[in-house]
Structure 1
Amino acid sequence: MNNSNQTITVETTVKAPISKAWQGFTEPQHIMNWSFASEDWHTPEAENDLRVGGKFRTKMAAKDGSMAFDFEGEYTDVINLKKIEYVMGDGRRVSISFEDLGDGVKVSETFDPENTHPVEFQKAGWQAIMDNFKKYTETL
């Protein structure tokens, strides 16, 4: 399966001030509360050096201990309250934009798919994480 010629975009609108949405998305103590695709997974560790050349690492793990992996990358562009771009360890690129709508924030994340899983599966997983981000951030 070769998904190299396309990108996938997921998005949500968070009913919160842009500063709160940015904090929720970028601060490790918040990331650990939403960065998982299903309720049987969690994020026990998160590190984030949010600057160009800075690195991040988020440990995603099954709650039953059967599986875990590190999601990590290096930032290539950071514009406070507007945009985050990074490259993952396998070379795939991700771009996240934050658009202040006045009564909320539209967060869009576009990424290069990997070649193991179908595009729809990847989109569903990343959208589930984005939905968790929205739910968590709106209760901050």
Structure 2
Amino acid sequence: MHHSTTHLSASVTVHAPIQKIWDYWTAPEHILRWNNPSDEWKTTSVENDVRTGGKFRYVMETNDGGGFTFEGQYDEVIPFEKLSSVHPNGRKTVNTFSVTADGVTITEIFEPEAGVPAADQQAFCAGVLKQFGDYVARH
């Protein structure tokens, strides 16, 4: 990671076995259903090749027709422990999965995108993690 960059992070603890958490986090049919920070967003397309060197591409859209594509390539995949990826513009994101007495804590640490307020990016990430936790709890 670039030492000059301020990193943002968010985390959530989910009460479920690590196998289920990993499956729900990485399987496209699940990602389509939880990968949004709020009801104003939806994920309409997911490709996810979960292996070192594999690529991912999530198309995210807002109800009013906006949106973006979240894509990149995994540079490190340790099943049930870590997913590290690099986006086309060189930004890195690292997700770690820690099994605790209370469940599994997922922590996402990422380099913020230039030109977008950091607080907005942090809130977006935290919102997605909360949605993931809620989704796992319901299914």
* TM-score normalized with structure 2 length: 0.93
Matching residue of 2:105? 106
Quote the Cα distance in structure 1 between the aligned partners of 2:21 and 2:14.
Answer: 7
Tell me, which stretches of 5 or more residues in structure 1 are unaligned? none
Matching residue of 1:73? 72
The alignment partner of 1:33 has SS state of helix
Displacement of 1:87:
0.3
The alignment partner of 2:33 has SS state of coil
Q: Show CA shifts across 1:115-140 (max 9, x none).
A: 11221111001100110011001222
Alignment check: 8 A CA contact 2:9 2:122 kept: yes
Matching residue of 1:135? 134
1:34 aligns with 2:65: no
Matching residue of 2:12? 12
Aligned CA RMSD, in angstroms, stands at 1.1
Alignment check: 8 A CA contact 1:17 1:103 kept: no
Alignment check: 8 A CA contact 2:41 2:62 kept: yes
State the identity %. Answer: 38
Amino acid at match of 2:94: S
Displacement of 1:103:
3.9
Q: Show CA shifts across 1:69-103 (max 9, x none).
A: 21100000000100000001111001100011144
Amino acid at match of 1:137: V
